[in-house]
Amino acid sequence: MGAGSPDASGGRDIRDVAVVGAGLSGCLMAVLLARRGYRVRVFERRPDPRLGAGDEGRSINLGLSQRGINALRHAGLLDRVLAHAAPMRGRVVHLPDGDLGYHPYGTSDDQILRSVLRHDLNVVLLDAAESAGVALRFDARLADLDKADGAVTLRFEDGAVVEAGTVIGADGAFSTVRARMQRGEPADYHQEFLPWGYKELSIAAGAPGDRRADPESLHVWPADGGLVVAHPNADRSLTGTIFLPLTGPGGFDALRTPDAVRAMITARFPDLTGLVPDVVEQFLSQPTGHLVTVRTAPWHWRGRVVLLGDACHAVYPFYGQGMNSAFEDCVILDGCLDRNAADHAAAFAEYQAIRKADTDVLADLSAANFVELRDRLSSPLFLARKKADLA
Ligand code: FAD
């Protein structure tokens, strides 16, 4: 069955695929589909990140764990990604009085986490997709989707209209594909915003041997009413994310002047001022990001449309598994297509059946770990125990 030729039901070839979203899962899925001989076109609302456009304000680096590593290995891309990654061998906890705690993740290289810039990862995936024969279109924002049994029509904001046999919605937590796919259908949709937001902070490389900026660890600053998490980069700098309540005293809304920001950092994250001399300027110039959990069903429509990654299961980032599970989706869906090559409806139903229970648990774990990081790591009991461990 060649791309563009009718399928058994007389419609458009189901192997003529439009992927919406050239983020992490969209690109990886495009690679896997192209390798199966599908015709794959990817549509992305942003400009091509390889041409220098940044990803300002969006978690600049990400922790890659075993699930994501396995998926990249499955696609033959692991070495290319690891060439840009920094190892995270353990977690350094920055206690409020300036002491440090350390929890190793494991003893061998297959037990550690890796940290990689979202931009570098995206570029590796885009290059791999292009080499596999995928057609990439940037500055193409999907505005609407018309479902029909024989084909799906995609309408873009610039007026372009495209037909495809299959549409993959990899367009993130606020997915247009999901909204249009579920329109008029019996569907569950639950979206929950965390009353906390985040900003990114760049932390320059520390002096060699300085554990406070150890370039092979994940760093956590627990505090009363706040949290900073930082991942290392391959150039030994760190990228931090400061999480705070959105509103209330000490929340982002109240932190609009240099004096207010300085006072908050000094009180809650005292050793951060030494590590990030321009922390106040960075804080005031960075946008505030929001965090959302999405649970939904169904994830697919009549073998013509299917969702991947955050589009069907966005989770809070506190368990560090959103991208990893989005990558895992791609491998599971690839396996379902293998077993049901001529029947996408069966493949997509099997994919949802395998994945949904796991991603629901992930949403719960991610919410629970927020409470753990926020409350337990900064609790007086934990701090006293930590001090005893260190003594
Ligand atoms: P995305 O990567 O968001 O890609 C969606 C793409 O779709 C984007 O390129 C977007 O521009 C495009 N798009 C959206 N709408 C349209 C449209 N209408 N038309 C065309 N294109 C469109 N996960 C981890 O595993 N480890 C971590 O350490 C980690 N840290 C995180 C830290 C923070 C602060 C946050 C917010 C998230 C973190 N995550 C982490 C989660 C991770 O970022 C996501 O789970 C992951 O990016 C999901 O991939 P995706 O492909 O589903 O969506």
Give the ipTM of the model, two decimals please. Answer: 0.99
Q: Are residues 27 and 127 in the same domain?
A: yes
Residue 64 lies in a domain: yes
Q: For the chain, what is the domain count? A: 2
Residue 165 or 54, more confident: 165
- Ligand 1 nearest atom to the CA of residue 325, by list position: 25
Q: How confident is the model at residue 214 (pLDDT cuts 50, 70, 90)?
A: very high
Instruction: Judge if the beta carbon of residue 13 lies within 6 A of ligand 1.
Output: no
In a domain, 107, yes or no: no
Q: Say if residue 6's pLDDT is above 50.
A: no
Out of 169-183, 298-312, 318-332, 363-377, least confident range: 363-377
49 lines ligand 1 (CB under 6 A): no
- Based on the fold, state whether residues 204 and 280 are members of the same structural domain: yes
State whether 35 and 120 are in the same domain. Answer: yes
Residue 310 C-alpha to ligand 1 middle, in angstroms? 6
pLDDT at position 388? 53
Q: Write out the residue range of the structural domain in which residue 79 sits.
A: 16-86+115-187+294-369
Percent of the chain scored above 70 by pLDDT?
92
Rounded CA Rg of the chain? 22
- Are 72 and 153 contained in the same domain? yes
Residues 167, 78 share a domain: yes
What is the per-residue pLDDT across 368-384, written as a single tens digit (0 to 9) for each?
A: 988 887 776 656 556 55
CB 155 less than 6 A from any atom of ligand 1: no
Whether the CB-CB separation of 28 and 38 falls below 8 Å is answered with no
The top-scoring range by mean pLDDT among 94-98, 103-107, 171-175 is 171-175
Q: Is the CB of 240 under 6 A from ligand 1?
A: no
Residue 267 has pLDDT above 70, yes or no: yes
List pLDDT tens digits, range 127-156.
999 999 999 999 999 999 999 888 899 999
What's the mean pLDDT when you consider all of the chain? 91
Q: Is the CB of 198 under 6 A from ligand 1?
A: yes
CA dihedral for 81, 272, 321, 103, sign (positive or negative): positive
Instruction: Specify if 54 maps to a domain.
Output: yes
Tell me how far apart the alpha carbons of residues 370 and 364 are, in angstroms, rounded to a whole number. Answer: 10
Instruction: Report the pLDDT value the prediction gives residue 52, as an integer from 0 to 100.
Output: 77
pLDDT of residue 208: 87
Show the CA angle centred on residue 232, arms to residues 88 and 103, nearest 5°.
40
Residues 41 and 81 occupy one common structural domain: yes
For 162-169, what is the mean pLDDT?
97
| Residue that wins the pLDDT comparison between 274 and 305 | 305
In the numeric block, the tokens 């037990």 are attached to: 111
Phi-psi region of 182 (alpha: psi -120 to 50; beta: other; left: phi over 0): alpha
Instruction: Using the predicted structure, report yes or no on whether residue 387 has a pLDDT greater than 50.
Output: yes
Q: What is the pLDDT of residues 55-76, one digit of tens each?
A: 554 558 999 999 999 999 999 9
Q: Which amino acid is at 39?
A: R
Does the pLDDT at position 89 exceed 70? yes
221 and 358 both lie in a single domain: no
Kindly report the pTM of this predicted structure.
0.94
Q: Is 284 exposed, middle or buried (0-12, 13-18, 19+ CB in 10 A)?
A: middle
Average pLDDT over residues 110-131: 96
